[in-house]
Structures are given as structure tokens and as C-alpha cells.
Amino acid sequence: MISPSLVKKIEEAGLDIDLVNHRVAQALAEDAHAGDLTSKATIAEDQISKARFTTRKSGVVAGTLIAAAVLEHCGITNYEIQTSDGTAVNAGQVLITVEGNTRAILLAERTALNFMSHLSGISTFTAQWVKEVSGTHAQVRDTRKTTPGLRELEKYAVRMGGGTNHRMTLTDGALIKDNHIAAAGSVTEAITRVKREFPGVEIEVEVDSLEQLKEALNTGVDIVLLDNMGIEETKAAVEISKNSKAKLESSGGLKLENAAAYASTGVDYLAVGALTHSAPVLDIGLDF
């Protein structure tokens, strides 16, 4: 369904081609499992048109390769991506030009726009966070708070916005949270059990007090997630951890307005679930 040249570009972007194929086919089936009734009634079967996918607002682009996959799934091969993913754009920027069967273009339109608008919204929002923490060594990281079925694409969009990915799945390292600690009995016991069961795996543990932080550091944990700590408490946590090898990640209560303040405390990461669960879409349209 997808041309070898596009397959190569998708794989070079770090995306799984089978997943892209499946998600695109699924989305198209959801939108037009019985065809486009309006287009069949109003447009000649052999009509040809030219069209452009264009931004309505400024932002950072992501999802052009997915939109191209949608076009190809609809039988459109005469298109050109004009703006690469990860590019900052202004309103009126042409992202993709296309020429082909008019019915096919309209069949692809909404699904292609849904993918591009959603993913570009994430990359745009991520870029805003990254800009806020510029000048510090803190990195903006996503979470697993993603749309079911779209995690790989959404985390790709985070990368396009300059952010970094945390775990893709539950098998990508251990993240011991409050419920794990409660079930195990203590921070130390939870960490000990993970080390015993999965030696060598990277371990991150969530703490909500400086006393828990000290306990975690004594176990030689890799990363400590500081849950809902204020600025001053976070500064104290950085000071306590300065002689350890553990990295620190702030989480909870983070907003664009205080991102710089948290990053300036010296933490290594800001965990921002909002990158994927609350990013507004970027307005993109299709014009004939």
C-alpha cells in the first residue's frame, strides 16, 4: 500500500512501518468504510484536481509522512512533501502539494488532516516547553499519558518538537511509583525487589518527600522522580543529591509559566504529561 520510497522515509524517522500502515488503514476505514457518498454524487469519477495542505497558524510540523501514507492508501502517488517534520512554520506555509483524482483527494483529506493537525499540535506544544527551559540543562520528557493506539506517533511528535521520550512501554525500564512502594512496604524494599528480579535494568523511583529521596539515594537508584514538590523543596532535593549519580526528574504541578523556574533548580528532566494529553491541534487545511 505504501511505496518503497515512503517506507524508507518512515523507517528513517524511527517509526514502525507496520504500525503506520495499520493505523492509517484503521483511520480510513473508520471514516469511509462504505465510501464517500457526497463525492460520488457530486464529482465525476475521472475528475483530476490539484490541492495543497496549508497551515492556518504558526507552529512546528509533524505528521507529514503519515499524511503521505494516507494519500498513498487512497491511491494518490503524485504528491510532494514541501515542509519536513520538525520545521517551525508560519501561517500560510504549504506542507504538501498533491495532484490526483478529486474523489481520492477528498477521501484522504480528513484523515490526513487529523493526523497532521494532532501530531503538529504536540510538536508545537513541546517546542514551547523546550523554549521555556532553554539555557538550563533540563530536558523536557513525555510520559505514557498518550492516546490509546497512537503512542509511537505521539512520542515521535514530541521528538519533532525538541523533547525527549521517556518509556515507550512498561518493559523499557522500571518506574517505581507510590502504589508500588505501598505494595512492597517501602522505597528500599521496592527497589531491592526490582534489582533482584531484573538486575541491570534502569530504575526510577517516585518520591514525595525529602526523606524518601534520601532513602532512594542510599539504594543507588538511577533516577528519582520528585512528585509534586514545590520550587524550594526541589532546590533542596537537588542539593541533597549533588554528590550522588542519580538524576532528578520533576513531575506534577508543572506549567509553562513555571517551567523555567523548575528547570533552573538543576533537575535533569521535567516530566510533562500535557505534551501528549493536552496539546491543542495545529490548524491545517486543504485547499484546491
Active site residue 155: no
Active site residue 227: yes
Active site residue 145: yes
Cα 140 to Cα 43, 108, 162, 167, distances in angstroms: 47, 34, 8, 13
Active site residue 8: no
- Cα angle at 269 between 267 and 273, to 5 degrees? 135
From 85, 132, 206, 268, the catalytic residue: 206
Instruction: Give the pairing type, strands 94-101 and 79-81.
Output: antiparallel
From 85, 152, 227, 268, the catalytic residue: 227
From 8, 40, 177, 255, the catalytic residue: 177
Sole residue written with cell 508500588: 180
Query: Are 131 and 139 a contacting pair, CB within 8 Å?
Result: no
Active site residue 144: no
- Cα angle at 48 between 43 and 52, to 5 degrees? 105
Phi, psi of 250 (to 5 degrees): -85, 140
Q: Which residues pair with 206 in a beta bridge?
A: 225
- Dihedral sign, Cα of residue 232, residue 267, residue 249, residue 255: positive
Alpha carbons 65 and 80: distance in angstroms, whole number: 10
From 52, 131, 145, 193, the catalytic residue: 145
From 52, 57, 110, 167, the catalytic residue: 110
3-state secondary structure of 166: coil
DSSP codes joined into one string, 198-242: STT--EEEEESSHHHHHHHHHTT-SEEEEET--HHHHHHHHHHHT
- Residues labelled catalytic: 110, 145, 177, 206, 227
